[in-house]
Amino acid sequence: MKFAHLAAVVVLLPMLALADASPSIGDDKASAFKGSARVAIAEFGVEFYTQIHAEGRQGGAAAMVTTELKGVSDADFQAITEQAYADTLAALQTAGIEVLDQAVVNADAGYQALVEKYGEPSPYTFADSSLVKDKPMVSRVFAPLGMKAFLSTSTQRGNFSQRTDSQNQGRGSREGELAKSLGATLLHVHYLVGFGLPSASRNNALWGGSTARAGIAMGNVLFAEDTEWQFVTDAGMRTFTTSKRPRHTGALYLAKPYVAEKNLFTVQDTTGSADQRSDGVMNAMGSLLGGFGQKTQRSDAAPESADAYRQNVTQLIATSASAFAQALRAAQ
C-alpha cells in the first residue's frame, strides 16, 4: 500500500491492508427470494469513484486528503461494465438461476415508465453533496450499452432527495407490480468500485486532543454495503422494517470491503499553494490559541496501465458476482 503522509498536528490513519480471500456477503432478508423461479435484470450498474476524499477532525484540528484517479478512460470503464454484466449473467446461469430475456424486460410498458422516471443517461456523474462541496467523493455510474444508469445507495450518500428516493416505498410498490407482470423477481445489481479506501478520525468531545487523521489506502476495492444485489418480488416493498432498503423485498450485499491483492497505483502530490497558505494560517492560529491546526493534501493516483486496471477490477467483480449468485441460489 502507498500512503500520502500528513505532518504536524495531522497524521495519516493506517488502513486495513487486504480484505478476506473471498467476498463476505451480508444478508438483508434474502430469504424473501424463496420461491422465485427466475429473475429479470431491472437495473445494472458499475459505479467508479474518480475522486476520493477523506476528512478528519479532532478538537480544532482538521485533516483533509483528496485524490483523483488518472489514466483510466470512459472506454475502460465501459469495457469493465460490459464484462461485469456478462460475468453476472454467467454467475447466475452457473448457480442455476433463470434470467428473463432482456428484450422482454425492455418491451414492458411498466418497466419503460420506471426507467423514464428514475433512469439517467449512462454514464451518470454523481458528486456526493453530503460532503464538503469543493472536495466531494465523485463517481460515475456506467450501465451496459442500451441500458440506463441508476444511483444505488443504501448508505447516506447524496442529497436529501437522493437519500429519500433510495427508500421510496411507492416506487417499490410499482416495482412489485412489474415483477408480477413479468413473472420474475426484479434484480438490481450494483458494484461500487474505488481506487482506494478513505479513512478519518471522528471528532470526540470527551477525549479532545488536537490530532486529526485522514488517509486513503491505495488499491482497487469494491465498497461494502453499496456493492449489492437487491431484489423486488411480486410482494413489493417492505413495511414495518428497520432495513435501509425498504423499497426492496430483500438484498444481498458486501459486508466488508473487498480489496484487490495488489496495489497498482502511483500517487503524485498536487497540493497547491492556496491550500498550503491556508494550512499556514490555521497552524499559526494553533500556535497562538492551542489545539488548532489544519493540513490539506491533494494528489493524483494513476494505475501502472489502463489494461492492468481493467483486469484487476474485472477480477474483483467476477469473483463477487459468483459469491452473490451462489448466496441467491441458497435462498431460492
Residue (of 298, 223, 195, 228) closest to 28 by Cα position: 228
Helix ranges (H only) for the chain are 74-94, 102-107, 109-118, 160-165, 169-182, 273-289, 306-331
pLDDT of 169 higher than 50: yes
Distances (CA, A) of 250 to 154, 209, 226: 12, 43, 14
DSSP class per residue in 155-202: SS-S-HHHHHHTT-HHHHHHHHHHHHHHTSEEEEEEEEEEEEEEEE--
Whole-number pLDDT of residue 2: 43
185-240, pLDDT tens digit by residue?
999 999 999 999 988 877 655 445 567 788 888 999 999 999 999 999 999 988 77
Amino acid, res. 307: D
Span 100-113, mean pLDDT? 97
107-144 core/surface letters (b: 16 or more CB in 10 A; e: else)? ebeebeebbeebbbebbbebebeeeeeebbbbbbbbbb
Whole-number pLDDT of residue 295: 78
Question: CA 169 to CA 245: how far, in whole Å?
Answer: 9
Distances (CA, A) of 253 to 140, 223, 257, 312, 328: 20, 10, 10, 20, 11
Element (H, E) at 281: helix 273-289
> At 6, is the pLDDT very low, low, confident or very high (cuts 50, 70, 90)?
very low
249: helix, coil or strand?
A: coil
pLDDT of 160 higher than 80: no
Question: CA 258 to CA 263: how far, in whole Å?
Answer: 13
Residue (of 90, 332, 48) closest to 190 by Cα position: 48
3-class SS letters over 206-229 = CCCCCCEEEEEEEEEEECCCCCEE
Question: CA 76 to CA 309: how far, in whole Å?
Answer: 9
256-306, pLDDT tens digit by residue?
999 998 899 999 999 865 554 444 433 333 333 333 445 788 999 999 999
Question: Diameter of the chain by CA atoms?
Answer: 70
Span 128-153, mean pLDDT? 83
Whole-number pLDDT of residue 279: 46
Phi, psi of 282 (to 5 degrees): -65, -40
Whole-number pLDDT of residue 171: 86
pLDDT of 251 higher than 80: yes
pLDDT of 108 higher than 70: yes
Whole-number pLDDT of residue 294: 55
Whole-number pLDDT of residue 162: 64
30-43, pLDDT tens digit by residue?
999 999 989 999 99
Q: Is the pTM of this model over 0.75?
A: yes
Amino acid, res. 189: V
Calculate the average pLDDT of the chain. Answer: 83
Whole-number pLDDT of residue 287: 33
The three grid cell numbers given for residue 115, joined into one nine-digit string: 426507467
The three grid cell numbers given for residue 217, joined into one nine-digit string: 489506502
Question: CA 229 to CA 55: how far, in whole Å?
Answer: 29
Question: CA 88 to CA 187: how far, in whole Å?
Answer: 11
Distances (CA, A) of 40 to 14, 138, 161, 229, 230: 42, 29, 27, 12, 12
